Amino acid sequence: MYQKYLALRTHFKSDSYDYFRYHGKLKANRDKFETRKDKFHFYKLSKMKHPVDFMVANMMVNPNFWSGDVNDEQSHATYNDWVKRRDSLSYIVSKEVERMDDTYDTNVLVKESQHPRLLVLYIRKIISAETIIILDKLTKFFPYWNRVMADDIIWPDEYKKLKKYAPFFINSVDLVRIKSIIKTRFE
């Protein structure tokens, strides 16, 4: 579990390491692990039903998540919230796109060096990371934002976080169903 933790932490913090490319493998020194004072927490993590999901959910909220947070009630609440979102993704996307402007383009266009409406909704936590990632998967606006907001203070960090998070759930999303929800909303 220590190796998975290191791999996930490196995935979210590093530009060069990709958890999926390397199948969650990362060199970890066994002797170093044995001298850690928090090794008990890794054993506790390994006893969980879905430890990787638990760590991903918490690293999205707190990039500095550490193994000792396995005992924290807030970490479990974060994970439970993440599971609820994942299990009812179509419903959540349908509710969150209702909060967007009626014309889809006005939500993604960058005007006069201001953040696009969709990014503002995401930063304010009105729209979830899953919804913005799904919308990008369907309409590919992230490259446009990267080009137009290259010098922005907020967007590059948020983009990196969203890009690193996307592979953990996007392949299990029913994009056809969500596409029809979005089409219905913006017709």
The pTM of the whole model exceeds 0.75: yes
Domain with CATH 1.10.220 in the chain: 89-185
Residue 128's identity, in one-letter code, is S
Full DSSP string of 40-94: HHHHHHHTSSSHHHHHHHHHHH-TT--GGGGG-HHHHHHHHHHHHHHHTHHHHHH
CATH 2.30.30.240 fits 2-86, yes or no: no
Asked whether the beta carbons of 108 and 116 are under 8 A apart, the reply is yes
Domain with CATH 1.10.8.60 in the chain: 2-86
Over residues 136-185, the pLDDT tens digits come to: 999 999 999 999 998 889 999 999 999 999 999 888 888 999 999 999 99
97 or 69: whose pLDDT is higher? 97
Question: 151-158 long-range contacts, Cβ below 8 Å, gap at least 24?
Answer: 152/115, 154/115, 154/119, 154/123, 155/115, 155/119, 158/119, 158/122, 158/123
Helical (H) or strand (E) element with 111: none
Res. 74: pLDDT tops 80: yes
Structure token pair of residue 29: 């020194």
> What would the CATH number be for the domain defined by 89-185?
1.10.220
Over residues 6-61, the pLDDT tens digits come to: 889 889 888 888 888 888 888 887 888 888 777 788 888 888 899 899 999 999 88
